[in-house]
Amino acid sequence: MIFSSLRLIAFFVVVHTSNVFCQDKVYLGTSSRQGKVIDINSSTIAFNPASGGKAENIALGNAVLVFNSKGDFLVPSKLNFSQALTKQLVDRYLHPDNTPFENDYVYTLHQPRIAGTVMGIEKKVVVVGDGTAVLKIDKSNVVAIIYRDGRHEIFGPVKNASDVLWAWQSTIAPVLVKDSSKTGSALVKTAEPEPAAATGNVPAPVVVKPGIPVEASATQTGVSASSTSLTFDDVAGNAVREEFEKKALQKTKQLNTYLKIICDKSASTEDVNKAVEMSVTLFVDDNAVVEISSINNNETVHKKIRQYLSHIKYVQYDKIEIEWTNVQYVSDLKKGPDGNFYGVVSFEQVFRGYRDGKIVYQDITRKNVTVILKTYEKNVQGATKDDWEVLLGDIGVISTKSV
């Protein structure tokens, strides 16, 4: 059996590279494209695909949301090019400055933006800290997160995010144009009816007076403070950092090994199905999302982990090779109030498809994966001890290019 030869292998150490966040992302509803937005006018978006080739024109009304590498955004369908301010916003987007944001920013349906450090994204909450307090935000209310390094995440339908972001941008645009380095792509809500009171760990929404920009921090929400200065050793107990690194790479190598089995046309159905199940166990849960890209259509498709593995299993090639290389840390691990560590790692995936013994398709895709270090209690011979495990979260596409 193929599985008898599987072994747990080594690690994951990662460093930020300068070309990871160098592209724009255009959301088209159920799909997205990566490349470079080179111009925006009243009817089209001029766009250079990441895979190269000729520039494309995307109808302005078809683009739900666009982000640049800094984290600035526009809602193209809402832009009114008869106004001078719109042209200034577009110019600001096309030519961003190099000043990074001071915080990560979480944007929700019922609150002004929350500024701080995103410490973790759990199944039901987003955890944000500002150095003195920690806030758990109901994940069902979160529409987007923009990180200080320019990365972003969309939660739920892209249309929801674009509506919330446009509500802010249409109000605060003059401030953005005047001093973008201080304001960044801030989300500030204008007045609206006060929502129903929140329950549990979710704070009641902040009521915003008309025309007054508001930004909330974890401290200002009234959530009780908890320590956010704990170190890796506080979480991992007796474990040393090298042990975590070994376990982290082990997970990555395991997933790559399982992918090879799933792609092996000569593997038995039993082995393939077992590889699928074993792959899923490497992730924090079945809701982990994997982004898929191709140099042929410049669109990024989102699939949950099981859907992704089924997609790989039935790709129409005689032979498939998938290799993960250049694994590097993009961000430091941060302790969340749930007792887990969260981080982001980057790697390159080399994909090759063969027919009749010849390569007919190949690409290199740089991806980011969320890494979660979960703590738990383990019973050993009647005694309870703290232990930890490393799990994988969402895997996102940064760029795709031909080999």
CATH of the domain at 320: 3.10.450.50
The answer to whether the beta carbons of residues 54 and 64 sit under 8 Å apart is no
Q: Tell me which of 188, 217, 246 is where a domain ends.
A: 217
183 is written with which tokens? Answer: 């304001």
Residue 48 lies in a domain: no
Joined together, the tokens standing for residue 325 give 């290389």
Residues 390 and 266 in one domain: yes
- Other CB atoms within 10 A of residue 224 CB: 8
- Phi/psi region, residue 108 (left: phi>0; alpha: psi -120 to 50; beta: rest), is beta
Domain that holds residue 237: 232-402
Model confidence pLDDT, tens digit, residues 249-278:
778 778 888 998 998 888 898 999 999 999
Same domain? 285 vs 395: yes
Q: Give me the average pLDDT of each 10-residue run along the chain (403 residues).
A: 36 32 79 90 91 84 92 90 85 87 86 82 84 80 90 88 81 55 34 34 32 42 37 53 71 85 88 92 88 82 89 85 76 62 79 92 88 74 75 86 84
Same domain, 157 and 280: no
pLDDT of residue 341: 73
Let me know whether 192 and 150 are in one domain: yes
Does one domain contain both 395 and 292?
Answer: yes
Q: How many domains does the chain have?
A: 2
Helix (H) or strand (E) run with residue 183 in it: helix 180-183
Tell me how many helices (H) and strands (E) the chain has. 7, 20
Residue 45 phi/psi, 5° resolution? -115, 120
Q: What's the rounded Cα separation, in Å, for the pair 43 and 61?
A: 8
Same domain, 240 and 368: yes
83 occurs within a structural domain: no
Q: What pLDDT is recorded for position 226?
A: 37
Question: What distance in Å separates the CA atoms of residue 344 and residue 123, rounded to the nearest whole number?
Answer: 17
Do 275 and 174 have their domain in common? no
pLDDT at residue 234, as a whole number: 53
**What is the SS3 assignment for 79?**
coil
* Alpha carbon of residue 24 to chain centroid: 14
CB 248 within 8 A of CB 374: no
List residues bridging with 299 in a β-sheet: 33
- Based on the fold, state whether residues 178 and 292 are members of the same structural domain: no
State how far the Cα of 101 lies from the Cα of 114, in Å rounded to an integer: 13
54 falls within a domain:
no
Report the SS3 class of residue 178: helix
Domain end call among 164, 183, 217: 217
Task: Judge residue 24's burial from the number of C-beta atoms within 10 Å of its C-beta, 0-12 exposed, 13-18 middle, 19 or more buried.
Answer: buried
Q: Is 231 exposed, middle or buried (0-12, 13-18, 19+ CB in 10 A)?
A: exposed
Residue 258 falls within a domain, yes or no? yes
Last residue of a domain, one of 172, 187, 217: 217
149: tokens are: 């390094």
pLDDT at 314: 82
What are residue 105's DSSP bridge partners?
115, 146
Is 225 within a domain?
Answer: no
In a domain, 34, yes or no: no
Residues 251 and 180 both lie in one domain = no
Q: Phi/psi of residue 84, each to 5°? A: -65, -35
Query: Looking at the domain assignment, is residue 150 inside a domain?
Result: yes
What Å distances lie between residue 131 and 122, 186, 217, 232, CA to CA?
A: 20, 20, 10, 16
Same domain, 264 and 395: yes
The answer to whether 123 and 334 have CB atoms below 8 angstroms apart is: no
Q: Is 197 domain-assigned?
A: yes
Same domain, 241 and 128: no
